[in-house]
Homo-oligomer: A and B are copies of this chain.
Amino acid sequence: MANFGLDSYFVTKVPANPIGQSAVNHLRRFGVNTGFIARGGDRLGIYFLESGASQRPSKVVYDRAHSAIAEAKPEDFNWPEILAGARWFHFTGITPALSDAVAEITLQAAKTAKGMGLTVSCDLNYRKKLWTTEKANQVMSRLVQYVDLCIANEEDAEKVFGIKAADTDITKGALSDAGYKDVARQLVERFGFKYVAITLRESRSASDNGWSALLYDGKEYYKSRKYDIHIVDRVGGGDSFGGGLIYALLSGKQPQEAIEFAVAASCLKHTIPGDFNMVAVDEVEALAGGDGSGRVQR
């Protein structure tokens, strides 16, 4: 979102040492405001990624136990001060999965944001290596009370809330439109979200994916174009969808336009090495507007 020109703050906790500072510097490079990042704790969480290709899946080894954020305390964050003047608050399901204290911190943040009139969004982002489905259900059920826009993929909805669409098999990559609409409808019905966005990944291999999404506003379904992506780097592909959707809605785009923007933004992220989506609004709009030919611009 910083790339798209919005004032963006990243709120977390990093250790007060050169490793924490390096993470802060990395964010600053992209224009993200790091002014509310707390300093302290023992270590920076890391993960190891083996980048997949073709039939070989990417593989992640987490090493974030005892990280500064996992051991953060509620008093590390003064939410009314942090959220003053903001229009939107976003979190993902990875954060509350880190510890009970962090789940509590996330709850305070979401509640405060909602109370201060911000729009609140959440990407369910279920990670089986971080918590069980039972724990996720219990924690996320409380959190989503304050959420306006819920982002999920089919697996997230099933694992976190037990919401299933008929006739879909993730590892087979067979996805039915009707099934996805049904998941979106159930989510709105159960939690009263204003919007539900569902991303649809057809994983033909680690190198080639189909990528599209669905937005549901409680009344209409808005289905995006589908991109057949030749993947360069999947890391951050999901996050860039959330960023694109928030930007699109904040800047007043209509639902169909918004979901096209979000899918195009994250399609482009899949083609960029590294963990940041270094694309500008005009580049996303060129793709969303229909030019996926990849012709050289010169």
Residues of A within 8 A of B (CB): 17-19, 25-26, 28-31, 42-44, 48, 50, 52-63, 65-66, 127-129, 170-173, 203-208, 227-232, 234, 264, 267-268, 270-272, 279, 283, 287, 290-298
> Once bound together, how far apart are the Cα atoms of A93 and B202, in whole Å?
42
Q: How many whole Å from A19's CB to the nearest CB in chain B?
A: 6
Residue of B nearest to A201 (CB): B295
> Once bound together, how far apart are the Cα atoms of A258 and B176, in whole Å?
35
**B203 and A53 form a contact (CB under 8 A):** no
Q: How many whole Å from A67's CB to the nearest CB in chain B?
A: 10
Pairs across A and B, CB under 8 Å, 29 listed: A18-B48, A19-B48, A25-B30, A28-B28, A42-B65, A52-B294, A54-B229, A54-B230, A54-B231, A54-B270, A55-B271, A55-B287, A55-B294, A56-B268, A57-B291, A57-B295, A60-B296, A129-B298, A171-B293, A172-B293, A173-B293, A203-B293, A203-B294, A205-B228, A205-B294, A206-B271, A207-B230, A208-B230, A234-B296
The one of B25, B173, B207 in contact with A29, judged by C-beta atoms closer than 8 angstroms, is B25
**A58 and B18 form a contact (CB under 8 A):** no
Q: How many whole Å from A279's CB to the nearest CB in chain B?
A: 8
Q: Which residues of B contact A30 (CB under 8 A)?
A: 25, 28
**B25 and A60 form a contact (CB under 8 A):** no
Given A25-B31, A55-B292, A60-B298, output 6 extra A-B contacts at Cβ < 8 Å: A18-B59, A56-B294, A57-B293, A62-B298, A129-B298, A203-B294
**A65 and B43 form a contact (CB under 8 A):** yes
Q: Which residues of B contact A55 (CB under 8 A)?
A: 227, 229, 264, 267-268, 271, 287, 292, 294
Q: Which residues of B contact A230 (CB under 8 A)?
A: 53-54, 205, 207-208
> Once bound together, how far apart are the Cα atoms of A78 and B18, in whole Å?
37
Among A30, A128, A207, A267: residue with most chain B CB under 10 A: A207
> Once bound together, how far apart are the Cα atoms of A287 and B54, in whole Å?
11
Q: How many whole Å from A48's CB to the nearest CB in chain B?
A: 6
Q: Which residues of B contact A229 (CB under 8 A)?
A: 54-55
**B297 and A203 form a contact (CB under 8 A):** no
Residue of B nearest to A25 (CB): B29
Q: Which residues of B contact A292 (CB under 8 A)?
A: 55, 205
Please provide the 10 A-B residue pairs with the shortest distance between their CB atoms, ordered closest to farther.
A206-B294, A29-B29, A60-B298, A56-B271, A54-B230, A203-B293, A207-B230, A53-B271, A55-B292, A54-B271
Q: How many whole Å from A243's CB to the nearest CB in chain B?
A: 16
User: Given A29-B26, A230-B208, are A57 and B294 also a contact pair (CB < 8 Å)?
Assistant: yes
> Once bound together, how far apart are the Cα atoms of A60 and B272, in whole Å?
16
Q: How many whole Å from A91's CB to the nearest CB in chain B?
A: 18
> Once bound together, how far apart are the Cα atoms of A52 and B283, in whole Å?
12
**A171 and B291 form a contact (CB under 8 A):** yes
Q: Which residues of B contact A25 (CB under 8 A)?
A: 29-31
